[in-house]
Amino acid sequence: MPRIAGVDIPENKKVRYSLRYIYGIGPKIADDILEDSKIDPDTKARDLTDDEVGRIALYLDSNLIVEGSLRRQVKQNIQRLRDIRSYRGERHRKGLPTRGQRTRCNARTRKGRKKTVAGKKGVKG
């Protein structure tokens, strides 16, 4: 199994799809890496030579922030928003959507399972 940027990428898939298993690499960046490294995107990951793996690793080291350092950077950015008590930081703190989505319905991914609140009792009179 080829190991690039400290991540085992799937060897039975084409390289253009295998590279996406690295945190911080999406479809466009994967294609850019292969174009710059002069590697055929349709090659299976297991068929990569050591030279080609080295070229991909060199490109990642020199041009991109990926995996652990990118996760750390994102975490620090969120922590900074929390520390300066910005609106987005408060939304992160409360576990609510931060990009303007509605929360009256939906938003269950961020809010978690429903919490039942006791309703108003009927008044007899």
Q: What is the pTM of this model?
A: 0.80
How do the domains of the chain map onto residue ranges?
A: 3-64, 68-111
CA angle at 41 for the pair 2 and 7, rounded to the nearest 5°: 25
118 or 102, which is more confident: 102
User: Helices 50-63 and 27-37: crossing angle, nearest 10°?
Assistant: 120
The CATH number of domain 68-111, selected from 2.40.50.140, 4.10.910.10, 2.60.120.560, 2.40.50.100:
4.10.910.10
Tokens for 28, please give them: 């466009």
Q: What class is the 3-64 domain?
A: mainly alpha
- Please determine whether the domains at 3-64 and 68-111 fall in the same fold group of CATH: no
User: Are 30 and 16 contacting, i.e. CB atoms less than 8 angstroms apart?
Assistant: yes
Beta partners for 3?
8
The rounded distance, in Å, linking the Cα atoms of 73 and 118 is: 42
DSSP 29-96: HHHHHHHHHT--TTSBGGG--HHHHHHHHHHHHHH---HHHHHHHHHHHHHHHHHTT-HHHHHHHHT-
Tell me the pLDDT tens digit for each residue of 53-95. Answer: 999 999 999 999 999 999 999 999 999 999 999 999 999 999 9
Q: What is the pLDDT of residue 125?
A: 57
Give 4's pLDDT tier (boundaries 50, 70, 90): confident
Tell me the pLDDT tens digit for each residue of 12-36. Answer: 999 999 999 999 999 999 999 999 9
